[in-house]
Amino acid sequence: MKRVSLLVLLLLIVSLAACASSDSAESGEMVIENVQANMAMPSDTGSVWVKITNNTGQDDALIGAEMAGCGAIELHNMFMENDVMIMREVEGGQIPIPAGETVELKQGGLHIMCIGKEAPLELGSSIDVALNFTNAGTMTVSATVVEPGTMNMDGDSGGMKMDN
Amino acid sequence: MKKRLTVNDLRLAIYDLRFAPVYAFILFLAIMITGCGQTAVSESEREFAGALVNSPQPVPDFTLTSADGPVSLSDFAGKYVFLYFGYTFCPDVCPGTLSNLAAVRQELGEDGDNMQVIMISVDPERDTPEVLEKYVAHFDPTFLGITGSKEEIDAAGEPLGIFYEIHEGSAASGYLVDHTARAFLIDPEGNARVAYPHDAPRDGIVADLKWFLAQE
């Protein structure tokens, strides 16, 4: 009995330790890569693209994000229908990130949408983006400000790994 | 040890059918070389970075409003016009297209002066001519942003098959506009020639424009 409670205590400590470090971008094996902020143009909106790999072993979902200089942030998707580009807020306001899978938010598709952008950001500069997950909690990563276009379509030019 | 080829061997080889593909290749090279200076590939055979408009379609003239006054398509006769319908609230496909076209113009160097990019906003409520001017100038100072009443926008868009529709958004976004996301290349005679999808590669558009310029 004593041994079991010791084990429970140990597990509790381990899980608490995991929680404490959840602001680190790689905790819980949720891997965040190619964080790009398309925020340089003088307009009311902007978007953030990111590649998320869920190695946590359990299904998760991106449920929101926070970034300075935006009136509101929504998760949007874009798709073509009969040659018409359509943009909508994602269903339920969240993007599922199933266990073991990689979900890419990228140009012409899923993106974190900044609405009511206060000012354009300088190309090449960095901005912190907090990603909110159902299970993994909040992960803050650094995004590089990029110009949109086909040069960045693959998400691998100008992309940056998180810096913490 | 290789056997040295003699003249006699070559003479025999001429009759050898195994060399038929070699002869075919030499013939092909000869045609290619003599064909230089002329158009090597015809328009129907060439692969463009966008959808080629079958039998060039004359685009009816239209007039919309820029921050500096009225702008008509006919103002740019003699130039290659890229006509793009979008809106500034659009976060990535529209700026991506403009960013690509700015890169195309830069890549073309002096030839870039033969092109004019015009963005027509299908969201005149939010995109005033002043908002548009500031927006397109971010990508290239020569780009023009124009808009107008629904009737005026439709007069420009309908002949090109442009579709757009307002869709209610959230409290934050207000509304979104679904729209045809193609950039049309209009030749110096005012004919629509190529419709580029939003993800058309930059170098492909550059190659297309160089090809068109070489045809003149």
pLDDT digits (tens, 9 = 90+) for A97-133: 999 999 999 999 999 999 999 999 999 999 999 999 9
Q: Give chain B's residues under pLDDT 70.
A: 1-40
Here the tokens at position B82 are 């890229």
B16-26: pLDDT as tens digits: 556 666 666 66
Q: Which residues of chain A have a CB within 8 Å of the CB of B202?
A: 149-151
Closest CA to B212 of B183, B186, B176: B186
At B111, list the tokens. Answer: 């030839």
Are A145 and A65 a contacting pair, CB within 8 Å? Answer: no
Interior angle at CA B2, CA B1 and CA B5, nearest 5: 155
Q: Give the closest residue to A97 by CA, choosing from A133, A45, A139, A142.
A: A133
Distance from CA of B198 to the nearest CA of A (A): 8
For residue B117, is it within any domain? yes
- pLDDT exceeds cutoff 60 at A161: no
Question: Is A147 within 8 Å of A124 (Cβ atoms)?
Answer: no
Is the residue at B80 inside a domain?
Answer: yes
Chain A residue numbers with beta carbons less than 8 Å from the beta carbon of B200 are: 150
Buried b / exposed e along B142-176 (16+ C-beta atoms within 10 A): ebbbbbbeeebbebbbeebebebeeeebeeebeeb
Query: B91, A47: Cβ pair inside 8 Å?
Result: yes
Backbone angles phi, psi at A54, to 5 degrees: -95, 100
Confidence of residue A163 (pLDDT cuts 50, 70, 90): very low
Which residues in chain B touch residue A149, judged by CB atoms under 8 angstroms apart? 95-97, 99-100, 103, 202
Handedness of CA B185, B191, B195, B198 (dihedral sign): positive
Q: Which residue of A42, A74, A108 is in closest CB contact with B92? A: A108
What are the tens digits of pLDDT across the range A1-24?
556 566 555 555 555 454 444 444
Q: Is the pLDDT of residue A158 over 60?
A: no
Give domain limits for chain A: 25-152
CB atoms within 10 A of CB A132: 16
Q: What is the pLDDT of residue B45?
A: 82
Q: Judge whether A158 and A146 are in contact, CB under 8 Å.
A: yes
Whether residue B39 lies inside any domain: the answer is no
The more confident residue out of A96 and A3 is A96
CATH 2.60.40.1890 fits A25-152, yes or no: yes
* Structural domain span for residue B184: 51-215
Q: Is A84 or A15 the better-scoring residue by pLDDT? A: A84
Give the ipTM: 0.76
User: Is the Cβ pair B88, A44 closer than 8 Å?
Assistant: yes
Q: Which of B92, B105, B168 should we substitute to test contact with A (largest number of A Cβ atoms within 10 Å)? A: B92
Chain B residues near residue A74 by CB distance under 8 angstroms = 170, 172-173
CB contact under 8 A, B92 and A111: yes
The candidate with the shortest Cα–Cα distance to B89, out of A153, A64, A113, is A113
Q: Write down the mean pLDDT value for chain A.
A: 84
Give the integer Cα–Cα distance in Å for B34 and A63. Answer: 64
User: How many separate domains does chain B show?
Assistant: 1
Note whether residue B22 is domain-resident: no
Q: Is residue B20 part of a domain?
A: no
Task: In whole angstroms, give the CA distance from residue A73 to residue A133.
Answer: 14
In a domain? residue B195? yes
CATH number, residue B203: 3.40.30.10
In a domain, B132, yes or no: yes
pLDDT at B25: 67
